[in-house]
Amino acid sequence: MPPPSPTYDEFYRNFRWDVPAQFNIGIAACDRWAEREPDRLAIIAAHPDGRTQDISYGWLRQTSNRLANALTAHGIRRGDRVAILLPQSPEVAAIHIAIYKLGGIALPLATLFGVEAISYRLQNSGAKAVITNAQGLAKIAAVRDELPDLELILSVDGPDLGALGFRETLARASTDYTPQPTAADDPAMIIYTSGTTGQPKGAVHAHRVLLGHLPGIETHHEFFPQPGDRIWTPADWAWAGGLLNVLLPGLYHGVPVVARRFDRFDPEEAFALMARYEVRNAFIPPTALRMLRSAPSPQGRHAINLRTVGSGGEMLGAETYEWAKSALGLVINEFYGQTECNLVLSSCAALGVSKPGAIGKPVPGHEVAVIRPDGTRAAVGETGQIAMRRPDPVMFLEYWGRPEATREKFIGDWMTTGDQGVMDEDGYYRFVGRDDDVITSAGYRIGPGEIEDCLIKHPAVALAAAIGKPDPVRTEIVKAFVVLKAGRTPSDALAADIQAFVRTRLSAHEYPREVAFIDEMPMTTTGKVIRRLLRARG
């Protein structure tokens, strides 16, 4: 990245990519630091029992070298897929580094996945090895007969159910390993999209994807790294947001990464964690931010000293944006991307690029536009599909085994997203909604984001989601699903009050004609509302 410019326009205009022909994520994120400063702090592991474990780059190098040797001894070669089914931990970082240095392809899997989701991804990718814990091992054992390509299972909890012990295996391996040379365009990882319809697709990314993420990281974390920076996210490292927005960029820049396993996001624990470990930079998805907002204010209780907070993955909303100013003392920098091409739009308050309800402007190095179905650029203020132009270092190589789906992702050189957006007269992009989330009611196209942002302003509402429900007269009506704050009781009167609240603040065609109270909001492991499950409720 160039030095900070006085204006966004100069910042964007002066950027140039410098992607070398040869590049390896494992070397860049670990070995180049370990060779110079083996004792440099890489990861701070905050254990649920209160213990803290400081992990150095030297430890990461030795552990990843042992694993690379062990995998090689078990027949894992360049191009083989190795799955990782573990929560945030130092071992996860070392495993990723080992796979990249080996020339293998990492397959991160979320620990919250059920048996069917795990089985599908392991089958579809043809994974030859998986590294997990006792919890994950039990899931894999249930479908072991469905996985003919799986040759090796390692468990960090020791040998069991056909798995070898992770630590026992590494103890027998050498700490000396020469990384395999890899081109920047060689495949490094497969991250499966959550998929709104059909089975998930595996987005294959090259080693260059880490370099492709850096401008976006350095934008929404306001010229990251700065002295004293320390980064954390509650997002699972199996998700592109956790892995490529936090873990790998933190290691690449020599910034300590805080690791903490959350079986379930707890706002109070999150506040305490950020204070105890002096977190300066955080990526917190919008749903988690709204949960923080619904908790008691941290002021006077936790000594939080955040420098930057980035948020993306779904619409943040003006209400949460304004809350952060008073509660956290900073402006949340909202950003946008997809698993296939992440972090291409971003806000940066330090450059004056910040507007409530907007997802920012193009990150230096990326060409983004709102396009029409024929691939032409939409006019200012015209709703269309958000798209990115290839080539781009952060863009995926292909969908694993799905050449037709890969071709369908593009209109000419524009990679389509399926996300509806609009660019305003100031160059800011606004997210309207997924193509399949946009509600069509009485001729109006309604994005759920604005409705949801209004709903959570109601004093009784903790979380909310809006969907389109089929209607014979209006095509669809807006239906709201609401999780109430503690101490509030569902009632017809409260539903009517919520409806009136939205109607008076938005418009008559946008207010929810139905309100359903639910105990828990269905969300993906990445913190996005699963609207298809809400639609299934009718």
What confidence tens digit (pLDDT) does each residue in 201-223 have?
999 999 999 999 999 999 999 99
- Among 173, 177, 140, CA closest to 65: 177
User: Does 67 have pLDDT greater than 90?
Assistant: yes
Query: Using an 8 Å Cβ cutoff, are 186 and 207 in contact?
Result: yes
Instruction: Give the least confident one: 35-49, 330-344, 512-526.
Output: 512-526
Residues, the chain, total?
Answer: 538
pLDDT of res. 3: 64
The percentage of residues in the chain with a pLDDT greater than 70, rounded to a whole number, is: 97
pLDDT of res. 469: 93
Boundary (domain end) residue, out of 182, 212, 230: 182
Q: Does 301 fall in a domain?
A: no
Measured between alpha carbons, how far is 185 from 211 in angstroms, rounded to an integer? Answer: 11
Instruction: Give the least confident one: 32-41, 85-94, 111-120.
Output: 111-120
pLDDT of res. 286: 87
User: Does 508 have pLDDT greater than 80?
Assistant: no
Instruction: Give the least confident one: 20-24, 404-408, 474-478.
Output: 474-478
Structure-block tokens of residue 499? 């409806």
Residue 6: exposure state from Cβ atoms within 10 A (0-12, 13-18, ≥19): exposed
Express each pLDDT in 289-321 by its tens digit. 988 998 888 887 889 999 999 999 877 888 889
Opening angle at CA 203, ends 240 and 313, nearest 5: 35
Boundary (domain end) residue, out of 182, 214, 229: 182
Boundary (domain end) residue, out of 182, 213, 240: 182
What kind and span of H or E run contains 73? helix 57-73
Measured between alpha carbons, how far is 330 from 293 in angstroms, rounded to an integer? Answer: 14
Express each pLDDT in 483-494 by its tens digit. 999 999 999 999
Q: What is the 3-state secondary structure (H, E, C) of 381-407?
A: CCCEEEEEECCCCCECCEECCCHHHHH
Q: Does 370 fall in a domain?
A: no
What kind and span of H or E run contains 349? none
Number of domains into which the chain is organized: 2
Q: Does 309 fall in a domain?
A: no
Structure-block tokens of residue 402? 């799905």
Q: Does 219 fall in a domain?
A: no
Q: Which residues pair with 311 in a beta bridge?
A: 334
- Averaged pLDDT for residues 375-399: 97
User: Does 196 have pLDDT greater than 80?
Assistant: no
Residue 112's domain comprises 21-29+55-182
Q: Does 82 fall in a domain?
A: yes
Measured between alpha carbons, how far is 27 from 107 in angstroms, rounded to an integer? Answer: 19
CB count in 10 Å sphere of residue 291: 21
User: Does 383 have pLDDT greater than 90?
Assistant: yes
Cβ neighbours of residue 8 closer than 8 Å, sequence gap 6 or more: 348, 351, 352, 353, 361
Write the CATH number for 117: 3.40.50.980
pLDDT of res. 194: 61
pLDDT of res. 1: 64
Measured between alpha carbons, how far is 367 from 164 in angstroms, rounded to an integer? Answer: 47
- Averaged pLDDT for residues 134-150: 95
Structure-block tokens of residue 498? 């919520």
pLDDT of res. 443: 64
User: Does 510 have pLDDT greater than 90?
Assistant: no
Measured between alpha carbons, how far is 465 from 449 in angstroms, rounded to an integer? Answer: 8
User: Does 195 have pLDDT greater than 60?
Assistant: no
Measured between alpha carbons, how far is 448 from 160 in angstroms, rounded to an integer? Answer: 47
Measured between alpha carbons, how far is 26 from 101 in angstroms, rounded to an integer? Answer: 5
Cβ neighbours of residue 276 closer than 8 Å, sequence gap 6 or more: 46
Q: What is the 3-state secondary structure (H, E, C) of 105-152?
A: EEEECCCCCCHHHHHHHHHHHCCCEEEECHHHHHHHHHCHHHCCCCCE
SS3 content of the chain, % helix, strand, coil (to 5): 30, 25, 45
- Averaged pLDDT for residues 383-401: 97
Query: Using an 8 Å Cβ cutoff, are 162 and 140 in contact?
Result: no
Opening angle at CA 207, ends 205 and 211, nearest 5: 100
- Averaged pLDDT for residues 64-76: 98
pLDDT of res. 193: 86
Predicted confidence band at 505 (pLDDT cuts at 50, 70, 90)? confident
Express each pLDDT in 85-111 by its tens digit. 999 999 999 999 999 999 999 999 998
Gyration radius (Cα) of the chain, Å: 23
Structure-block tokens of residue 342? 């992440």
- Averaged pLDDT for residues 484-508: 92
Looking only at the bridges linking them, the beta strands covering 41-46 and 52-56 are: antiparallel
The percentage of residues in the chain with a pLDDT greater than 90, rounded to a whole number, is: 79
Predicted confidence band at 439 (pLDDT cuts at 50, 70, 90)? confident
Question: How much is the mean pLDDT over the chain?
Answer: 93
Q: Does 528 fall in a domain?
A: yes
Sign of CA dihedral 272, 276, 281, 283: negative
Q: Which residues pair with 85 in a beta bridge?
A: 132
Express each pLDDT in 12-35 by its tens digit. 999 999 999 999 999 999 999 999
Measured between alpha carbons, how far is 482 from 459 in angstroms, rounded to an integer? Answer: 12
Is pTM beyond 0.85? Reply is yes
Q: Does 61 fall in a domain?
A: yes
Write the CATH number for 507: 3.30.300.30
Q: Which residue blocks in 178-307 are alpha helix, DSSP H?
A: 209-220, 240-242, 248-252, 267-276, 286-294
Characterise 426 by phi-psi region: left (phi > 0), alpha (psi -120 to 50), beta (else): alpha
Query: Using an 8 Å Cβ cutoff, are 34 and 58 in contact?
Result: yes
Q: Does 272 fall in a domain?
A: no
Query: Using an 8 Å Cβ cutoff, are 283 and 234 in contact?
Result: no
Tell the residue number behind the tokens 């995926």, with chain if given.
Answer: 396
